Amino acid sequence: MAQLTRTERQIALALFVGLAVAGLLMVAGGRADPLGLHGALILGVAVFGSFGIISKYYEPLPGADRLREYYDDPSKFGVVAAMVWVAFGLFMGDWVAWLLVNPDLTFDAAWSSFGRIRPVHTTSVIFGFGGNALIATSFYVMQRTSRARLPDQLSPWFVLLGYNLFCILAVTGYMLGITQSREYAEPEWYADIWLVVVWIVYFVTYLRTLARRKEPHIYVSNWYYLAFILVVAMLHIVNNLAVPVSLGHAKSYSLFSGVQDAMTEWWYGHNAVAFFLTSGFLGMMYYFMPKRAGRPIFSYRLSIISFWGITFFYIWVGSHHLHYTALPQWVQTLGMTFSVLLLVPSWASAGNALLTLNGAWHKVRDDATLRFMMIAAVFYGLTTFEGSFMAIRPVNSLSHYTDWTIGHVHAGALGWVAMITFGSIYASVPWLWKRDAMYSARLVEVHFWLALAGTIVYVFAMWNSGIVQGLMWRTYNESGTLTYSFVDSLIAMHPYYIARAVGGLLFLIGALVGCYNMYMTIRAAPQRKRLASTSDMPAAVPAIAPAE
Amino acid sequence: MTFIAHDTLVWLSKSIGLFYLLILSAAVVVYAYWPANRKSFERAAKSIIEGEDRPWG
Amino acid sequence: MFGFHYRLERKTIPFVLAIIGAASIGGFVEIAPLFTIHQTVESAPNMRVYTPLELAGRNIYIREGCYACHSQMIRTLRDDVERYGHYSLAVESKYDHPMLWGSKRTGPDLARIGGKYSDAWHVIHLNNPRDVVPESVMPAYTWLKRTELRTADLRLHLKALREVGVPYTDDMIANAPADAYGQANPGTPLADGVIKRYGETTDVNAFDGSPGNVTEMDALVAYLQILGRLTDVASNGPAAGAAEP
């Protein structure tokens, strides 16, 4: 706020007023529908935001010297938001896991039923945690690699706050029963339209910063972030084409149906994995890992080749989610072929990351933050191999519909995405808040081991249960009939479901330890004057110290 | 989209898709290994390690 | 200022275009041909659309996230077919906006659940699955029976579906709320309208066991009972054939 100029404060206020009007219209139009509740929520946010602006409106304006520093306040907000979302999302996830152990661990109320809170979990961790971390780090990285400050103070806030509003609409919507049922794209039409607006501002902000860059070459991390922004926009728009029942209804009907809809959804679904959960996080890795290790990336060229490889191989592979279904077989074969080819750029990236650490192994040993990143690269390699393997039709005939898929996803989500994010956050928190180091290196260490143990327990439990399940479903006895009923396979899952829930709990505790550590770093650690050194940290300039 | 027969569209997908892929792969490899680009890539790799503590005026 | 724009245009924009180009082609190649697919896929002339009650049930299925645990897509594998019935055909989900093929079988496939159990079984099972299957981990949906179904706006729902291509007639749209009531209340005059508009074989029952009202339970059970039975091409049509081993 303190860094916003007069005009920016005015625009911000106008935006909040506009948002309030939109909320009011939704309340009026959706009186008889859950849409009205969302209208009220939006209205509340807008009123709260307007008061925030008004109360600070006459605070001193920022001086021109602010332009000599990077603008990091939005990144700080994004990092904190990511940690809040991860704690919430992991908690919901573990609750869902326990529900499969004992389905009565819930309230006798619709909002808390499995089918509604499962998407709350997935959205919170993917979009809440992952998305905030991506936006926060992308602002951080693009400014530094471009040697340029963000073009203005308002648009990054618009992106972050708008994005979090989208996430809140999404998760509250599921609990109210508002969902499109499109996996990983559940929010309804109005939230989707809002996200498009936010995303356009994000993209324009990115381009404007790049246009201001003083460093002629665009560092490879930005390529990945840009691909993430662009392709996610494309996927989001096409996948969410729908006709609302009316402007006063939250519910909409998708434009496509049946087989076209299935292909569209999985074209989206798998590329959300590619461009949301891979591309963006690779961008993170290519910046924070070399930075933390103090060594340039092993092969910059390889990173370029794998960038394009990932961009144009990934986009074909969605149909491997639909093997042996009513989808035409040639599309299935295409998906399978490209999934296998995808191994090349994926392993090139993983190998590149690990080779970057070659020669810095002593640092990996001593520094849990770097170890987070190292393990992330290992899991990235493992998961992409597993993914290519599972896309092969006969393998898929066993693994599909089982917990093996869940295990695979979590090897990627916990092992790769969460680990690289925790590593990057631990690296950037002291840089952002200008502290010497995290509050406690020991606690980072504790978090690391809890996260690793949790991931391993989780993934092994799901591998076992998935394979057992898949085999039981297809076991025949001598007389040529199926040996096991579905319920037999369900009973066999019980111990694995317990193990999985315990693994998830370990991971959750680790994340909570991380939250505590960050809280203490931000709140309690003394702000020391930094020594002028080769380090990248901006020297603290008291006059423009960010308002907190 | 009924103006194109399904078979034609499938054929196009299968043929052009493949060539497009081969050409793009070749182009990327050539770009990455083009000798003149070598220096700028090496510089880029090192660029994040230092000299980025504040925006360049 | 000019310098910035110059640089932006020189590098960033082509780069952005390259990403879009690389990333869109796969989608076009895989998805575009599917829109001409009606030329090669089975046709089902006698297939009917969902009745308003079934549609409302389908929306409850979506709202409660049943798709998170149940698939509606029987693959062409032998064990799938023997366990769940004839493999699913593309045409069978052609009125499904969105499709509910699902991706996970924490519970069994439901593509052909229609007619497998009685309405009463479904009502008990949905109310508390452990009353009929003690080992079940399926959630209890106790509120369905006590929640009145919202039928007033069903016309708008049918209209929206017609906009995306489902052949609802004006007659069906105009009578949607009445048909929803009629289908759950056999013996009333409204029930005859349902038969008239949706065909002889339409189930007209007090699905939740209590006539006189329409609850969410009525709708969901009506939907479950129609699954796999909108058309009989799978059992009779030319596509009926052997599964892959």
| Coil, helix or strand at residue A244 | strand
Q: Does the interface ipTM go beyond 0.90?
A: yes
Average pLDDT over residues A68-82: 95
- Count of Cβ atoms closer than 10 Å to residue A224 Cβ: 30
- Count of Cβ atoms closer than 10 Å to residue A472 Cβ: 19
In the predicted model, is pLDDT for residue A1 greater than 80? no
The residue in chain A having the minimum alpha-carbon distance to the alpha carbon of residue B38 is A301
In order, the DSSP letters of A350-392 are: HHHHHHHHTT-HHHHHH-HHHHHHHHHHHHHHHHHHHHHHHTS
**Residue A230 · residue C5 · CB < 8 Å:** no
pLDDT of residue B13: 65
Mutate to test the interface with A, among C19, C20, C31, C150 (most CBs of A within 10 A): C19
Q: Based on the fold, state whether residues A82 and A11 are members of the same structural domain.
A: no
Q: Measured between alpha carbons, how far is A120 from A95 in angstroms, rounded to an integer?
A: 11
Average pLDDT over residues A200-217: 91
Average pLDDT over residues C8-30: 70
- The domain defined by C52-226 folds into Cytochrome Bc1 Complex; Chain D, domain 2 (1.10.760)
pLDDT of residue A177: 96
Q: Measured between alpha carbons, how far is A307 from A345 in angstroms, rounded to an integer?
A: 7
**Residue C42 · residue C233 · CB < 8 Å:** yes
Domain with A47 in it: 1-60
Residues 8-47 in B contacting C (C-alpha not used; CB under 8 Å): 9-10, 13, 16-17, 20, 24
pLDDT in tens, C92-131: 999 999 999 999 999 999 999 999 999 999 999 999 999 9
Whole-angstrom CA distances from A355 to A96, A347, A378, A413 are 38, 12, 11, 23
Mutate to test the interface with A, among B10, B22, B48, B50 (most CBs of A within 10 A): B48
pLDDT in tens, A189-203: 999 999 999 999 999
Give the pLDDT band of residue C27 (cuts 50, 70, 90). low
C36 close contact with B: CB closer than 8 A: yes
Q: Based on the fold, state whether residues A54 and A168 are members of the same structural domain.
A: no
User: Measured between beta carbons, which residues in chain C are less than 8 angstroms from residue B28?
Assistant: none
The H or E element that residue A528 is part of is: none
Q: Do B48 and A291 make contact, defined as CB atoms within 8 angstroms?
A: yes
pLDDT of residue A538: 43
Q: Based on the fold, state whether residues A333 and A441 are members of the same structural domain.
A: yes
Question: Chains near C, with 3+ CB pairs < 8 A?
Answer: A, B
Q: Measured between alpha carbons, how far is A206 from A222 in angstroms, rounded to an integer?
A: 9
Mean pLDDT, chain C, integer: 88
In the predicted model, is pLDDT for residue C242 greater than 60? no
Identify whether A153 is part of a domain. Answer: yes
Residues 330-359 in A contacting C (C-alpha not used; CB under 8 Å): 331, 334-335, 338
pLDDT of residue A245: 96
Name residues whose C-beta falls within 8 Å of residue B15's C-beta, 6 or more positions apart in sequence: none
Identify whether A419 is part of a domain. Answer: yes
Q: Do C68 and A254 make contact, defined as CB atoms within 8 angstroms?
A: no
In the predicted model, is pLDDT for residue A453 greater than 70? yes
Average pLDDT over residues A137-147: 95
pLDDT in tens, A348-405: 999 999 999 998 899 999 999 999 999 999 999 999 999 999 999 999 999 999 999 9
pLDDT of residue A544: 38
Q: Measured between alpha carbons, how far is A385 from A297 in angstroms, rounded to an integer?
A: 22
pLDDT of residue A142: 93
pLDDT in tens, A318-338: 889 999 988 888 788 878 888
pLDDT of residue B32: 85
Q: Measured between alpha carbons, how far is A305 from A296 in angstroms, rounded to an integer?
A: 17
DSSP for residue C12: I
Q: Based on the fold, state whether residues A37 and A86 are members of the same structural domain.
A: no
What letter represents residue A105's amino acid? L
- Please report how the helices A220-239 and C13-31 are oriented relative to each other, as an axis angle in degrees rounded to 10: 40
Whole-angstrom CA distances from A42 to A39, A160, A168, A199 are 5, 16, 10, 18
Q: Based on the fold, state whether residues A244 and A121 are members of the same structural domain.
A: yes
Identify whether A544 is part of a domain. Answer: no
C29 close contact with B: CB closer than 8 A: yes
pLDDT by residue, tens only, chain B of 57 residues: 344 566 676 676 666 766 777 787 888 888 888 888 888 888 888 888 877 778 886
For chain A, percent of residues with pLDDT exceeding 90: 81
Burial category of A478 from C-beta neighbours within 10 Å (exposed 0-12, middle 13-18, buried 19 and up) = exposed
- Please report how the helices A419-433 and A280-293 are oriented relative to each other, as an axis angle in degrees rounded to 10: 60
pLDDT in tens, A161-177: 999 999 999 999 999 99
CB pairs under 8 A between A and C: 261
- Count of Cβ atoms closer than 10 Å to residue A299 Cβ: 18
Residue range(s) in chain C whose domain bears CATH number 1.10.760.10? 52-226
What letter represents residue A107's amino acid? F
**Residue C90 · residue A259 · CB < 8 Å:** yes
Q: Based on the fold, state whether residues A52 and A187 are members of the same structural domain.
A: no
Structural domain count, chain A = 2
CATH number for the domain including A167?
1.20.210.10
Last residue of a domain, one of A35, A60, A85: A60
pLDDT of residue C36: 62
| Greater model confidence, C167 or A529 | C167
Q: Measured between alpha carbons, how far is A277 from C150 in angstroms, rounded to an integer?
A: 39
Q: Based on the fold, state whether residues A104 and A194 are members of the same structural domain.
A: yes
Radius of gyration from C-alpha coordinates of chain B: 21
Q: Within a 13 Å sphere around the CA of A88, how many CA atoms are in the beta-carbon half?
A: 21
Under the phi-then-psi rule, with left for phi > 0, alpha for psi from -120 to 50, and beta for the rest, what region is A480?
left
The H or E element that residue C69 is part of is: none
In the predicted model, is pLDDT for residue C9 greater than 60? no
- For A147, the closest of B33, B45, B55 (CB atoms) is B55
Q: Identify which of A293, A285, A318, A278 has the alpha carbon closest to the alpha carbon of residue A219.
A: A285
pLDDT in tens, A25-64: 999 999 999 999 999 999 999 999 999 999 989 988 888 8
Token pair of A332 as six digits:
């299935």
Give the pLDDT band of residue A66 (cuts 50, 70, 90). confident
**Residue A320 · residue A339 · CB < 8 Å:** yes
| Coil, helix or strand at residue B8 | helix
pLDDT of residue B37: 83
- Count of Cβ atoms closer than 10 Å to residue A104 Cβ: 11
Q: Do C91 and A323 make contact, defined as CB atoms within 8 angstroms?
A: no
pLDDT in tens, A238-257: 999 999 999 999 999 999 99
Name residues whose C-beta falls within 8 Å of residue B7's C-beta, 6 or more positions apart in sequence: none
* Omega of the bond leading into C98 within 30 degrees of 0 (cis): yes
Q: Measured between alpha carbons, how far is C173 from C162 in angstroms, rounded to an integer?
A: 9
Identify whether A451 is part of a domain. Answer: yes
Whole-model pTM: value is 0.93
Mutate to test the interface with C, among A31, A180, A279, A325 (most CBs of C within 10 A): A325
Q: Measured between alpha carbons, how far is A183 from A163 in angstroms, rounded to an integer?
A: 19
Mean pLDDT, chain A, integer: 92
User: Measured between beta carbons, which residues in chain B are less than 8 angstroms from residue C30?
Assistant: 13
The residue in chain B having the minimum alpha-carbon distance to the alpha carbon of residue A297 is B45
Q: Do C90 and A249 make contact, defined as CB atoms within 8 angstroms?
A: no
Q: Measured between alpha carbons, how far is A43 from A39 in angstroms, rounded to an integer?
A: 6
pLDDT in tens, C39-65: 556 778 889 999 999 999 999 999 999
Which has the minimum average pLDDT: A151-165, A274-288, B32-46?
Answer: B32-46
| Greater model confidence, A214 or A503 | A503
Beta bridge partners of C215: C148
Residues 41-70 in A contacting B (C-alpha not used; CB under 8 Å): 67-70
